Amino acid sequence: MKQVGIFGKRKSGKSALMYALTRHKIRQDASLCAMEISGVAKVMLVDTVGVDVEGSTAEKSAQSVEVALMLIANDSFELELAWISKLRKSGSSVIAVISRADLFPDGGQALAAAVREVSGLETICVSSETGAGVEELDAEINRRLSKE
């Protein structure tokens, strides 16, 4: 089964995003199966331990995910950039996610631009609280999965 991994520091919003993506899917497909994403493939969403936890088991998850969501929740994102390299090396297709975007006055746009510039990655602003960006992220995940 294909896996989509959610990576980020502690409290970056990983678990909330997992539920937001799952809820979105249930509403959209009226499907009882929370793990099915748009009928492209059966995928497993994997919530991981914070990348800022010593001896994080996220290392292990990084080896097995087709698509990796790297959450960034504030403007210090050095550690996240290191993880992006690591994830790319292990063959994952990485999407940078500006998480908890409702907490930024500009919806995370400036941070997204900065991340995009240094990483070259597609960067999507998402709020699990308001639902903003969840649909866009879901569509991008599907695009990546169907390319695999």
Binding-site member from 25, 43, 92, 100 for ligand GDP (CB under 6 A): 100
Q: Residue 105: how many CB atoms within 10 A of its CB?
A: 7
Pairing status of strand 93-98 against strand 41-47: unpaired
Say if residues 68 and 87 touch (Cβ distance below 8 Å).
yes
Binding-site member from 1, 6, 9, 15 for Mg ion (CB under 5 A): 15
Say if residues 97 and 20 touch (Cβ distance below 8 Å).
no
Residue number, 22 or 41, with CB nearest to ligand GDP: 22
Q: How far is the CB of 39 from ligand GDP (least distance, A)?
A: 27
Told to check if 102 binds ligand GDP by CB under 6 A, we report: yes
Rg (CA), the chain: 14
Which residue bears the tokens 């959209």? 28
Binding-site member from 4, 5, 7, 12 for ligand GDP (CB under 6 A): 12
137: part of which helix (H) or strand (E)?
helix 134-147
Told to check if 97 binds ligand GDP by CB under 6 A, we report: no
Told to check if 57 binds Mg ion by CB under 5 A, we report: no
Q: Give the x/- contact pattern for ligand GDP in 16-55, rule: CB under 6 A.
A: x---------------------------------------
Q: Residue 3: how many CB atoms within 10 A of its CB?
A: 15
Binding site for ligand GDP (CB under 6 A): 8, 10-16, 100, 102-103, 127-129
